[in-house]
Amino acid sequence: MFAVSAICAPFCVPAAKAIAIGIDLGSTGIVKGSRTVDLVAPSVQFEGQNIVFDFSVQNGEFIRLFTATKSFQMDAFFRINNAPLPALNFTGSGYLTDNLGSQLGPAVTLQAFPVTDLVSEVGVDFLLRPLTSNTVPIDVYGIHLDLTLPNSPSFGFGKGPPGGITFDGNVFGIGPGVPRDIVPDNGSTLLFLSLGLLIPVVARIRLPRAG
């Protein structure tokens, strides 16, 4: 047993700690633009550890990505208890999850942007632009973030007022009670374009004169 432990010690990496975070999406309906809701971060000190944040949508709601949803992203703002500049280094990846917690699409790299007051880092923005499968519509019930935190034990998340999480896209739904799908309006656009091209042609047609 001692030999196994001795061999494992340099190579075995402990599993990342998983923390569940509930989010309330607010009122249901079609969103064209963005929706921002409160985000209460757990108290976590920065010790260079790997940590998983599993966001789950509350109150039986979900985010529906339609056929017409051509852009969608999530921006999560976590407050930091005034770490001095230069900014801390965060890395990680993330993906969307379905109602069973299963992964929707491949994991993509997170972008981390420091939020400062010109003296200290007061927060960090994690931007996720997820990739989904070609099957639409898709109902999203959660977001999985896998982070590596900086090694700065004097600082951490969870201090001060809540942060926020913003969902942004050209069009998406907050369900239940939203359409099964919304498709791009290519048909009517093509119809109006065709009519616009046809009218000048018709105007040039002259009827034959009688007699």
Q: Which pLDDT score is estimated for 64? A: 97
Cβ neighbourhood burial of 178 (10 Å; 0-12, 13-18, 19+): buried
Q: Which pLDDT score is estimated for 173? A: 98
Check whether 207 has a pLDDT greater than 80. no
| Banded pLDDT at 153 (limits 50, 70, 90) | very high
d(CA 174, CA 105): 20
Q: What is the pTM of this model?
A: 0.79
d(CA 90, CA 83): 13
Nearest to 28 by CA among 139, 131, 105, 137: 139
| Banded pLDDT at 197 (limits 50, 70, 90) | very low
d(CA 168, CA 160): 25
Average pLDDT for 146-170? 91
Average pLDDT for 144-173? 92
| Banded pLDDT at 15 (limits 50, 70, 90) | low
The pair phi, psi for residue 202, each rounded to 5°, is -60, -35
Check whether 205 has a pLDDT greater than 50. no
| Banded pLDDT at 90 (limits 50, 70, 90) | very high
Check whether 195 has a pLDDT greater than 50. no
Average pLDDT for 195-209? 45
Average pLDDT for 182-189? 68
Check whether 44 has a pLDDT greater than 50. yes
Q: Which pLDDT score is estimated for 160? A: 73
Between 154 and 158, whose confidence is greater?
A: 154
What confidence tens digit (pLDDT) does each residue in 110-141 have?
A: 999 999 998 999 999 999 999 886 778 999 99
Q: Which pLDDT score is estimated for 189? A: 39
